[in-house]
Chains A and B, each alone.
Chain A
Amino acid sequence: DQQVKQNSPSLSVQEGRISILNCDYTNSMFDYFLWYKKYPAEGPTFLISISSIKDKNEDGRFTVFLNKSAKHLSLHIVPSQPGDSAVYFCAASATNTGANSKLTFGKGITLSVRP
């Protein structure tokens, strides 16, 4: 049973526009969420995180929104740049169970930003 779902396998956007990457989760114990960016043959690079006590966190061009009632989060990238083209993973953990480093990942979404 997939507890973290990224239902769209790919997304293509024009340079300068907004990229919206979605993620849904089913485990109500998850209280900490992270987004990672990954290039082939490299490890995931941390982008941004959000705790369940917040509904928004912003860092430069990246903003993550959390809707706990819908068990949904999204990553907004504004403006999108060609260098943002990569695979983006949504991950979640249940820190209240002591499993801080036990991340459950979605399958990833491939973002392509067209010049």
Chain B
Amino acid sequence: AQTVTQSQPEMSVQEAETVTLSCTYDTSESDYYLFWYKQPPSRQMILVIRQEAYKQQNATENRFSVNFQKAAKSFSLKISDSQLGDAAMYFCAYRTTSGTYKYIFGTGTRLKVLA
């Protein structure tokens, strides 16, 4: 069975600084998707970034980028130029490509942004 692990329950970053959130996963599949979702206090989940395992290039979305290390089964999220609005819970998630949309989420990392 696939698992997703986020070992940092909470992180803090100074406004305008850079922070990296860690995620590791375990799977026996060779092709899959990885995601980072943001959950602000409103509790609604927002897709931040998606990575396809067969692509070696790391995904980037504006200030958000990932460091995808397939052999190490590591998928970290880097937030550059942190803003107060980035404060939220961040979830790492996994989905197989085998036609099912069953998502497996980590337990989340709470990010605090300090002014």
A pairs with B: no
Residues of chain B at the chain A interface (Cβ within 8 Å):
none
